[in-house]
Structures are given as C-alpha cells and as structure tokens.
Amino acid sequence: NQTIATVSGKSYLVTWDCLAGSSASIIAAGGGSSSSANAGTSGSMLFTAIATTTIMYLRSGGASQRVMVDNVSVKLTNEIIQNGTFNSDASGWSSASSLASTAAVVTGELRVTPTVNFGRQLASFATVIGKTYKVTASARRISGSGSAYLEISASNGVGTVSLGTGATTTSITAVALSGDFVATATTTYLGAAGTVAGDVIGFDNISVKLAEADRSVKNAGLVLNGTLTKTAVASGAGLV
C-alpha cells in the first residue's frame, strides 16, 4: 500500500498496467472505489477523496497469487462518473429498484428499456453537499413513443430532482443533454431513463463534473478544467 496526498471532495483517475499474474486490483481506501485488470491488460478507476490523504492498496486475484504491475498513475480529474462512455460494458450502472429497466451496451451506447414507465439505469457517485455539478450526455429514442431523460436523486431512484428541459429529448437521432444540480447528499444517483415502458433509449458520453455555480439569470454552471485561483478583491473582503 501507499499513502498519497489528496484534496477532500476532488476526483482522481487511477491507471495501471497488469504485467503478470491472474489479476490485480487497486483499491482507494475510503474513496469507495476499486478496479481490477487481468495480466497483459490495463486498469483504470475513478475515486473521490474524502480526506487529505488516501491509502492506495494493491491486491492479487487470490490467495498465494503473485502479480506484477507497472505505470501506476493517480491524477486529479474533473470527471466523476465511473463509466459514461460504455466502451465495453455497462459496469457501474444498474436498474433502479422501484423504477426498473433492462440495459445492454451496443456499439458503445447504453440502451435502456424501461420495464415500467420512467424506468431507469442508475449510477452512484460521491458528491459534496452544497456544491454545484454539471451533467452532460448524448441521448436518443431508438424506438417507442416516449422521451429520453436524465434525472438526479439522493437515493436509489427515490426523491428525484429534475435537471430541467435541457436534459430530456424525443429525438430519434442523438442530441446533447445537459443540466445542473446542487448536491444534497454525500452520495448522488444519476438516472438514465425513459418515460414509457418498452421503449428503447440510447445514452452515451455521460459526464458529471464539479461546476462553479452561475449566479446570473442564465443559471448555467461553469465546468472548471484545471484549478481556479480565487483571491479577495481587498483584504478582509467577502468578494472574490
């Protein structure tokens, strides 16, 4: 294991190469994340730090098994969603318990079929209460008569919060969706949903990033790429 310095509430991308052994897992203690890779492949994961230091653990695939890893990297990132590009599968997403759906990944697109009206697939991620986040994605209605939409909840599909009209579409070709929300819990759920049971809805490039709140009438948060330095306009001033 190794202890690294982190910033509480910030997201980090971990990548590594598994050179030999059955499989290797890397775990971020307290970050609620782990991922594994087989020999000859690369692994990656996202975690959100909850303290100023985080312990990273390397674990083999089983008892008495030896693994070799190389090129381990931990980098600060703005991305929070674990799997929003669906390059190989739908890992990190599952059906809501009360608003159920089935899902499959076809050519890099998450295809959601609600089994009840407003059925959805959910992904959970760590958030900081009171912080503003921006959600973006592309979506389309592949078949049926309803709408595709994104929705936020502070529990497993219950107590939903609308992301606004910009996060829904009836288009049969992929269009961009976006919306902002203010976190009300330390774990937040994003739902990729359809309004009508039996419809097939496609989602791709789903992203959630920490944003600076927009206090203008437009109310459109700004995603930060990098670090924004804030300085008071004068000594003791509350304006930055």
Residue 233: the pLDDT is 63
Residue 200: the pLDDT is 98
- Supply 215's token pair: 């206090």
Residue 223: the pLDDT is 56
Given its phi and psi angles, is residue 99 left (phi above 0), alpha (psi -120 to 50 degrees) or beta?
Answer: beta
Residue 50: the pLDDT is 82
Low-confidence ranges of the chain (pLDDT < 50): none
Residue 91: the pLDDT is 87
Work out the number of other CB atoms within 10 angstroms of the CB of residue 17.
Answer: 17
Residue 222: the pLDDT is 52
This prediction has a pTM of 0.70
The three-class DSSP label of residue 166 is helix
Identify any residues that bridge with 54 across adjacent strands, giving them in sequence order.
Answer: 4
Residue 46: the pLDDT is 79
Q: How far is CA 51 from CA 8, 32, 48, 186, in A?
A: 5, 12, 9, 13
Give 94-145 pLDDT, tens digit per residue: 999 889 999 999 999 999 999 999 999 999 988 888 999 999 999 999 999 9
Residue 196: the pLDDT is 97
Q: Are 24 and 59 contacting, i.e. CB atoms less than 8 angstroms apart?
A: yes
Residue 12: the pLDDT is 86
